[in-house]
Structure 1
Amino acid sequence: MDQNSLLTVLALFVLLFQSASSASVGGDNSIKKDLTPRGSEYQEKIKEFKYIVSGFDYEYRPVIIMNWGKWDVIWLANHTNEKNQVIKNFEQLIEEIDSGVFVRKFDKFLPIGSNYTNNQFVIILNYYGFDFRTTYNPAAAKLILRMLAEMQGIIVHIAYGVVINANPVVNQVLAMAKPLAGNFLAKFDIYGSNSDKWIPRIRTPNPITPITSCCSITSYQQRRIS
């Protein structure tokens, strides 16, 4: 079975699993919040698919934050041109990371006298605001799984990672992704919404020098950092 077929099967399995288990998670208040109607202003705001480079850890590795919970993947899955452009940009980002070009972009932000020579970085995946309905949309679920699978190819460049604000649905999606991205996910510690648990984890080695640069993986904004 090729990767595309496996992605389709996994996406459909997520859909079926969610349909069968929805009653068991119906009482989760965090999930109920994700089911509230969202207006056009909110939708426009989150179509930028932003990620942020927030600084360096104590070994001068860039710290990248991807707010995947706020990426409107359902909207993206239903807009073919924009989806194809985002996929293309995301693949280019992966290529830059794999070649070392991406990490080297931040050399100018390093403290004077620092001696950072490898191409590793730290990644934080923030699932705050993850839309419960995404798992009921096979195309959206397939897109999420595809992006996770793409990141499987850059695990050698990830020093460590942290997933935060993972609710039960997010945990299920990550579990479904293991056949495609198991080695990538093994780099991560996964935390729920209790910030008392994950804030100490991301504070200990994390940003010492803030970087204000922010990129968007979109069809209408440049992704690259100047």
Structure 2
Amino acid sequence: MSVRFFFQFCFGSILLQLTVTAVLSSNGYKYDSCGLLTSNATSRQQTKFNFQLLGYDYDNLPIILMNWGHYDLRWLEAHPKQLDTFQRNIAQWIDDTSNGTFFRRVINDTWTTYSHVSILDFDGLDLRQILSETAIKLVLQTFIQLQKLNSLISYGFIVNANPIAHQVINLAKPLAANLLEHFDVYGTNSRKWKPFLAKKIPIHQLPPAFGGNKDFKPVANCGLI
């Protein structure tokens, strides 16, 4: 089965069954400093499923970096408890961001700006991580859920988009077209996209992989499992 046919097959079947996952009861879980649920995953596993509040752009808008290329969805598929936590946390973070709770929690309790900048990094994504219908469904569900933030994303970047990432983005376009309009998509050559980030975001607000300083520290690290 070719990669293109696989994606088309999954997309066709998922459209028949795809629904946005509701926020479920959180009994038996603990919350971290970002207001998200924690599971019994190891710190190494949690690092692979995290996102960061980097800092602020020139207009003082907070910057969210999500390392989608590190999210091994096939691993999640094989670990139901972590998968459940991941889905709950995505939904919870989106709701908290929509009503301003997330930024007031991790920045300060008087923060009033709801708009933000979003960076989706696909560095490291390979076919194995998403080569199942369940994994593709999870990606598309996440894009649909992120549509709730459509009016709150001032602008965004998708970086390190290899051919697999482009296939995923193309599948998501019919489902999240309004969301994706906010993003400029760049490939894996960082020399081409780093200057565009620097025009919008001060260098000292970016990690080294994005052209920032070696001693960079994010405002917050948040785990999705």
Unaligned runs of 5+ residues in structure 2 are 1-6, 14-41, 206-216
For 2:44, the aligned partner's letter is K
Aligned to 1:138: 133
What secondary structure sits across from 1:118 in the alignment?
Answer: coil
Q: Give TM-score scaled by structure 1 length.
A: 0.71
Contact 1:77–1:143, Cα closer than 8 Å, also in 2 = no
Matched, 1:89 2:89: yes
Q: Distance in 1 between matches of 2:97 and 2:85?
A: 18
Spell out, residue by residue over 1:79-109, the C-alpha distance to the aligned partner (whole angstroms, 9 max, x if none).
Answer: 2222112101110000001101122335449
Q: Distance in 1 between matches of 2:46 and 2:106?
A: 25
Structure 1 vs Structure 2 CA RMSD: 2.6
CA shift, 1:119, in A, is 0.8
What secondary structure sits across from 2:125 in the alignment?
Answer: coil
CA shift, 1:135, in A, is 3.8
Q: Distance in 1 between matches of 2:56 and 2:153?
A: 13
- Which of 3, 10, 16 is the matching residue for 1:12? 10
CA shift, 1:131, in A, is 2.1
Unaligned runs of 5+ residues in structure 1 are 1-8, 16-42, 111-115, 219-226
Aligned to 2:53: 53
Question: How many residues of Structure 1 are paired with residues of Structure 2 in the alignment?
Answer: 178
Aligned to 1:172: 167
Residues 137 and 195 of structure 1: CA distance in aligned 2, closer, same or farther (over 3 Å): same
Give me the identity figure in percent. 34
Q: Which protein has the bigger helix share?
A: 1
Aligned to 2:66: 66
Q: Distance in 1 between matches of 2:122 and 2:12?
A: 17
CA shift, 1:52, in A, is 0.8
CA shift, 1:150, in A, is 0.7
Aligned to 1:211: 218
Matched, 1:77 2:77: yes
Contact 1:46–1:72, Cα closer than 8 Å, also in 2 = no
For 1:211, the aligned partner's letter is P
Q: Distance in 2 between matches of 1:58 and 1:217?
A: 28
Aligned to 2:38: none
